[in-house]
Chain A
Amino acid sequence: MAVHEFDGIIIGAGGAGLMAALQASKSAKIAVLSKLYPTRSHTGTAQGGIGAALGNLEEDHWEWHMFDTIKGGDYLVDQDAAEIMCREAVDTVYELEHMGLPFSRTPDGKIAQRPFGGHTREFGKAPVQRSCYAADRTGHMILQTLYQQCIKQGVTFFNEFHVVDLLVQDGVVCGAVAIEIATGELYTFHAKAVLFATGGSGRMYKITSNALTLTGDGMAVVYRRGIPLEDMEFFQFHPTGIYKMGILITEAARGEGGILRNNSGERFMERYAATLKDLAPRDMVSRAIYKEIREGRGIGGKDYVHLDLTHLDSKVIHAKLPDITDFVETYMGIDPVKSPIPIQPTAHYAMGGIPTNSDAEVVIDEKNTAMPGLYAAGECACVSVHGANRLGTNSLVDIIVFGRRGGKALGRFVQQAPLQPLPPDSEKATRDRIERLFESRGSESVARIREKLQAEMMDKASVFRTEGELKKMLDILRGLRQRYSNVCLQDRGRKFNMELLEAFELDHLLELSQVTVTSAMARQESRGAHAREDFPKRDDAKWLKHTLAYRDEELVSLKYKPVSITKFQPQERKY
């Protein structure tokens, strides 16, 4: 058994993981583990910007940002956490600039800002320019900049190490187990603290903006160790994915003036959100698109609508939206300057995840009791700053603010905490999982089960949901779980066995789909991204609370905890 010993390990090397690493490694011996090379992380694909009330182009205040975040999240947001996020967003954006991030600039040389969905001035009066951007590759620049700083600071990386188990001894975290992808060897990372920053799980759906590798590994790993997942019924569908492919077309396209049109050319968002129109929050725009399509107003009667940029100055498109122009040209053969873009909603973001407090400490029950040494930040975590629906730009704010807070908290924790002994045979559970997969002589393939899962989740548990369809989905999941036990791997080698990794990833997706569907079935209301056609109204009396889903052998058991409400009482959500 090979053991590495560190004060703390960080799993995942996207924005949250790298930000945490920069903080924690100042005072402690830290390793960052990623199943990819760090610069391949999905933070790099974020396009439109990072929200912060800098007020560079017009008056803005973090309180306005906080209100928008809470209202955008349909009042399921923990307001104490949202306050921290929106207040600290301002300084963290300056910090990113100081690290060298090449933001686009205003004419007087400040960080450029533009409007984004759901971001308003004076508590909802009109759109405000709050999204700080670097053309339409803001996430790419954040990821590159943070990685550059990690090199400068000499952060230790274990690239292409796939973490598949969390080690806990007597209720205290003591490390993790990883597969070195190049060799297939197992490694135990013995540590006082573990921070998960493993990103989302969009690959449970067929049409998604998410990378092929976004399979919710971190969430599934902790869930299998008895830690709950919070609010997993809330999954965001971004309104504008490239038709059939799901590749993201940033909301900044609408921030710069793009308009959604149906079959008759009508700007249909005027009917759904009179004030913000095309810049209404994502859940509302995605539902509006689905409704247009269902009522026969999709383009040519099909299941897509148009995103129209043709009235914009071609210089604006090329200067401010170069990457999406490239995507549309490459994948659709369309010049967005001349022709509208066929789009459909695409699975984009898990609002739910591993429950944490605002120091990124994982909290494991209704009373928010922290588990010593366990941290989570970014999309895999649920602070909850996104509530039932995340606003555009706030994912980048989340990873930077809570990645930083988590890294600091972890750095402090390992200074005083002792290193717990490892459990006997720390790698046994992982070795057993691998051996089972290698020994199986069944007839099922990972790819086929995954394909079925993604198609059915898209059909039965995406933008609109009903009890009947969710129930069917649970049955399907039971069947898929059965089939998974008969998976047979063709690749029997140890080196770069990508099939083995995909088998682990599928296991994780199956686990998380079951949590998502079970949580969605229980929540008999519509709130944010969770739209129940059989319960179309928000029901604060019964459901203004967070779901906590625990693994109960093959089943999911649900508990609930209250929402933190400090400054803004829930109101009807209109835009």
Chain B
Amino acid sequence: MEVSFKILRFDPQRDARAHWEEYEVELEPTDRVLDGLEEIKGRLDGTLALRRSCAHGICGSDAMLINGRNRLACKVLVKNLKQPITIEPMRGFNVLKDLIVDMEPFFAKYRSVQPYLIEKDAPPEKERLQSQAQRERFDDTTKCILCGACTTSCPSFWSNPDYVGPAAIVQAHRFIFDSRDQGKEERLKVLNHGDGVWRCRTVFNCVEACPRGINVTRAIGEIKQALARGKV
């Protein structure tokens, strides 16, 4: 099928500002948006720049705005989209070229929540025990692939770039609710301020944007409750 794309292009080496360009490519209905972008890059315009790797929704490289919504280009089929398919970079980060944005501030916030197991006791010889229920408690937030779709769909983040953002909170949740972790208090402290969890206005954009189906707003809510109660 013939598929038309409208892509917001920006090359700092050439362009003063971003502009739209249109492309038509022949694709299978079951092709991904990413297949379309690769086809454009390979056959029509080799200057198109985007990040991509695994092409099936796991590596988290190719989050972008597709028809106005944050999606992974490799996880949306062209047959399910209205044409022309509009493609823009994620909002809220500096655009470096075309669909490539500066992810460094995103990863800096990720690092700020101490996203690693903090243990104060020496580990046993074999594995630590954890019940299936304890493991289930934080299952949802272990799915995060750090694609940035949630954070860059959040109006609170757009209006306040200092907001730590849903992705970093999801990562904090993954540890705060892990029975093996002993760093909960420090992590909760990092999130207990105006640019922490309290910046969330429960708009639910993050839930809709998450390509991994994580209930992000619920995770944020659980941290708010833990802070309100003073315990996990």
Enumerate chain A interface residues (CB-CB to B < 8 A): 36-37, 39-42, 44-45, 54, 93-94, 97-100, 102-111, 134-135, 137, 140-141, 144, 148-149, 151-152, 182, 211-213, 244-245, 247, 323, 326-327, 330-332, 445-448, 451, 489-491, 493-499
15 CB contacts below 8 A, A to B, read: A44-B58, A100-B119, A102-B135, A104-B135, A108-B129, A211-B59, A212-B55, A323-B58, A330-B57, A330-B75, A446-B42, A493-B11, A493-B47, A496-B98, A497-B49
Expressed in whole angstroms, the Cα–Cα distance for A17 and B120 within the complex equals: 27
Known contacts A36-B51, A39-B145; can you find 16 more A-B pairs with CB under 8 A?
A40-B51, A42-B54, A105-B130, A109-B131, A110-B129, A135-B139, A141-B142, A151-B111, A244-B30, A327-B57, A489-B46, A491-B47, A493-B11, A494-B13, A496-B98, A498-B50
Which positions 5-47 of chain B face chain A at CB distance < 8 Å? Answer: 11-14, 30, 32, 38, 41-43, 45-47
Among B77, B114, B145, chain A packs the most CB atoms within 10 A around the CB of B145
Contact A109 B100 (CB under 8 A): no
Q: Out of B48, B117, B123, which one reaches A148, CB within 8 Å?
A: B117
Query: A97 near B128 (CB under 8 angstroms)?
Result: yes
Asked if A327 and B181 sit within 8 Å, CB to CB, the answer is no
Q: Are A100 and B100 in contact (CB under 8 A)?
A: no
Residue pair A98, B123 in contact (C-beta under 8 Å):
yes
Interface of B is mostly: loop
**CB-defined contacts of A54 to chain B, threshold 8 Å:** 126
- Verify B46–A44 contact, CB threshold 8 A: no
Whether A495 touches B42, Cβ cut-off 8 Å, given contacts A39-B59, A94-B126, is: no
| B47–A105 CB distance below 8 A | no
Q: How far is the CB of B46 from chain A (nearest CB, A)?
A: 3
Which 7 A-B residue pairs are closest in the complex by CB-CB distance?
A447-B42, A100-B117, A490-B46, A109-B129, A148-B116, A98-B123, A152-B116
A212-B53 CB under 8 A given contacts A445-B46, A448-B42, A499-B46: yes
What is the CA–CA distance of A499 and B98 in the complex, to the nearest angstrom? Answer: 14
Q: Is the CB of B181 within 8 A of A100?
A: yes
- In the bound complex, residues from chain B placing their C-beta under 8 Å from that of A94 are 123, 125-127
Chain B residues, Cβ within 8 Å of A323: 58
- For B54, the chain A residues whose CB sits under 8 A away are 40, 42, 44-45, 211-212
- Tell me if B61 counts as interface (CB < 8 A to partner A): yes
CA distance A36 to B103 in the complex (A): 12
B111, closest chain A residue (CB):
A151
Chain A residues lying within 8 Å of B52, measured Cβ to Cβ, are 212
Q: Does B165 belong to the interface (CB within 8 Å)?
A: no
The CA-CA distance from A506 to B130 in the complex, in Å, is 47
Nearest-neighbour CB distance to chain B for A360, whole angstroms, equals 24
Is B53 in contact with A495, judged by CB distance below 8 angstroms? no
Cα A247 to Cα B51 with chains together (Å): 19
Known pairs A99-B117, A102-B135, A491-B47; A211 contacts B128 (CB<8 A): no
A245-B45 Cα distance, complex, nearest whole Å: 24
Complex CA–CA separation, A135 to B139 (angstroms) = 10
Which residue on chain B has the smallest CB distance to residue A107? B132
B189 contacts across to A, CB distance below 8 A: none
B218 on interface, CB distance cutoff 8 Å: no
Contacts of A97 in B (CB 8 A): 123, 127-128
Q: Is the CB of B43 within 8 A of A445?
A: yes
Tell me if B43 and A447 are in contact (CB < 8 A): yes
Indicate whether B198 reaches chain A with its CB closer than 8 angstroms: no
Closest A-chain residue to B128, C-beta based? A97
Chain B residues with Cβ under 8 A from A98's Cβ?
119, 123, 127-128
Q: Distance in Å from the Cβ of B99 to the closest Cβ of chain A?
A: 10
Q: B92: which A residues are within 8 A, CB to CB?
A: none
Contact A495 B50 (CB under 8 A): no
Contact with A along B89-107 (1 / 0, CB 8 A): 0000000111010010001
How many angstroms between the C-alpha atoms of A562 and B116 in the bound complex?
44
Q: Which chain B positions have C-beta within 8 A of A445?
A: 42-43, 46
